[in-house]
Amino acid sequence: MEKLLSEERIDKATEDELLEMRLWIYKESQRLEQERKAINSKVAEIETEMNKFRQKFQFERSQFEHDKQKFKDDQALFDQQIEILKEGFDKLNADKKKIEREWKKLEQEKGFLREDEYSQAEFFFQGVNSLLALKKRYRDLMKIYHPDNLCGDHRVCDLINEEYNVLLRQFDSYMKA
């Protein structure tokens, strides 16, 4: 219906009105063409931005996946290192307990050795009942066990010296009393 109405107007229009309508149609088509170009330009701009966004999104996504995988790898490595450290600490604790047990055994053995050494030292001066006999026995033992001698032994010599000093003090305290 509207088409008929516009066709009737065109038929009844004067030359000036037709010219004016043509001018208006021309201007309107130019304006529409410019708007279409602007819209097409805007669409192209939006598509370019969308492509850039997609590329950036893909890059960020791949970066995220890479970081995620790296994190998993680092976590696995960290877990392995923790496990190694735990095993190391467990082994160290076991070694520490073993060393402590061995240390106690050594201490006990030292105690037994010291008792044996003291009994040996007492053996050297067995039967000595005077200061003069003590000094004579000491000289004789030093001739035998002194480290400068061929059969000498430094450890035995030290034991003899310690026992001699103990007995010497005992005789001195006995004489003073």
The answer, as to whether pTM is greater than 0.75, is no
pLDDT value, residue 171: 83
**Phi and psi (nearest 5°) for 125?**
-105, 20
**How many other CB atoms sit within 10 Å of the CB of residue 102?**
10
According to the model, what pLDDT value does residue 106 have? 77
Q: Minimal CA–CA distance to 161: which of 107, 68, 78, 152?
A: 152
Closest CA to 142 of 128, 115, 166, 163: 163
CA nearest to 135, candidates 164, 109, 155: 164
20-46 burial code (b ≥16 CB/10 A, e <16): eeeeeeeeeeeeeeeeeeeeeeeeeee
Range list of H helices, the chain:
2-12, 15-124, 131-145, 154-176
Q: What is the pLDDT of residue 8?
A: 66
> What pLDDT is stored for residue 159 in this prediction?
87
Mean pLDDT by runs of 10 across the 177 residues of the chain is: 60 80 91 95 95 94 93 92 91 88 76 59 82 91 88 85 89 77
Cα–Cα distance between 68 and 50 in angstroms, integer?
Answer: 26
